[in-house]
Chain A
Amino acid sequence: MQSSAFLDYVDPWVNWTWLESHVPLFVDALQQHLTLTAIAVAGGLALSLPLGIAAHRWRALRNPLLGFFGVVYTIPSLALFALLVPYTGLSIVTAEIGLIGYTVLILVRNLLIGLESVPPDVLDAADGMGYRPLARLAFVELPLALPAMFAGVRIATVTTIGLVTITALIGLGGLGQLINKGLIENFHTPLVVATALSIALALVADLTLVGLQRVAVPWSRDAPR
């Protein structure tokens, strides 16, 4: 049977010529990916710090708080976005409510682990030195909880970078957009390159945070991971 050149064409996994001429597409996607991730982690931190400190101080809050965000965490992201879409539309708000909600469980859990790991002797010593509760929290407990907190930020960041790809289905997605493009157009290059970039971005972000932690929190050598 005679076949046309069109049917003989095999889509390579990476078409380098196409890739070279479409670099801006990837730069834009990467930028959106980073922005969505940064908002999620920053928003998660802004929520988790007060919540975690409150749950540490008032133990009764602890189980309801972890329970609620545990339930949120269990909801698959696509379902959570879909539940929000009728109310907040195909928007960044929808994406961020979900992404921030997921980071809170990770961050609060790690903040609590950090605060609980402060040795009682240290607290006694701080009390003996005349620290008021708020000063003790700010200058003794939180610095000692920082290593565990950093571990939480790392997990939250890597997790969010993976989840951002799914927001492609609500019109965002960062690199996920290009994965979607690959799916819709049956075109390997954007799919493979965007997936690889997403993995690379997560690993680079993780290493960057490790480096940052070494510099900012040099007492965290044996931090939990």
Chain B
Amino acid sequence: MTHLANVVQWFANPAHWQGPDGIPQRLVEHVQISAESVAIGALIALPIGIALGHYGRFGNLAINISNVGRALPSFGLLVIAFQVFGLGNLPILVALVALAIPPMVTNSYVALREVDPDVKEAARGMGYRELNQLVRVELPLAVPLVMAGIRTSAVQVVATATLAALIAGGGFGRYVIDGFAQQDYTKLFAGAVLVAALAMATELSLSGVERLLVPRGIRLLQAPAAGRATTFKTA
């Protein structure tokens, strides 16, 4: 039990709550690079997934993106990006964006594909133009799965950002990687707790956003998105 007592002590130590290697600073680094990566990834992935799903074309492309996305070893990708771009945030950002894209493309593609064709036809019959139909009929129905894709990406990115400490990145991964390197199992464990908590918090807060964004009627109408979403785990 001394091990856990040490971990509790580590958290209680005020020195670990301030300065450039303090928990608040590491939290900001971790969240910032993750949020930037997911945002850039979303700007690239969502239009692609939504367009592919809306037009119902290139379904194989969407499936292949998910297969290759799953096969990408995040560790290798990060290190290669490091060798290409050198020190700094750029290699981390590039690798994280690359990993953020597949879940969002796949899930938004499926989301748009799953919109009932009868509903689309009804919208057309009511005089909706194509863009209006997409924005006001299809997208609201697709929101749960699109959001599930964003959530999957975000959790993946937060997880992979931990590995960024290997290529001199900041964030909570610092404690884990340094803990391994220094064989300091207290720091290692404390870092792992922080990383796990952050991943969990990301999952829960985005589920909350999803809840706010999905109209009640649609929530009652559809099976829970969590059960239908395409899962990814790369880190």
Contact = CB atoms under 8 A, between A and B. Distances in A.
Contacts of B162: 76, 78-79
A179 B192 contact: no
Interface string A72-102: 0111111110110110000000000000001
A225 B72 contact: no
Interface stretch (A48-56, A119-127, A142-150, A199-207): A199-207
B215 interface: no
Interface stretch (B8-16, B50-58, B129-137, B227-235): B227-235
B71 A102 contact: no
B208 interface: no
Contact of B191 (A82, A179, A186): A82
Contact of B73 (A80, A155, A162): A162
B196 A83 contact: yes
Given A78-B163, A79-B162, A191-B83, A85 B76 contact: no
Contacts of B70: 155, 158-159, 162, 202
Interface in B163-213: 163, 166-167, 173, 176-177, 179-180, 185, 188-189, 191-193, 195-196, 199-200, 203
Nearest to A169: B180
A136 interface: no
The contact size tier of chain A is 35 or more
B158 interface: yes
A162 B66 CA distance: 13
A82 B192 contact: yes
Contacts of A86: 3, 185, 188-189
A73 B234 contact: no
B203 to A, nearest CB: 5
Given A74-B199, A195-B76, A225-B63, A162 B71 contact: yes
Interface of B: 3, 63, 67-68, 70-77, 79-80, 82-83, 155, 158-160, 162-163, 166-167, 173, 176-177, 179-180, 185, 188-189, 191-193, 195-196, 199-200, 203, 226-227, 231-235
Given A76-B235, A225-B63, 20 more contacts: A76-B158, A76-B160, A77-B233, A77-B235, A78-B159, A78-B195, A79-B176, A82-B176, A82-B191, A86-B189, A109-B227, A159-B70, A162-B74, A166-B74, A166-B163, A169-B166, A179-B76, A188-B83, A195-B73, A195-B80
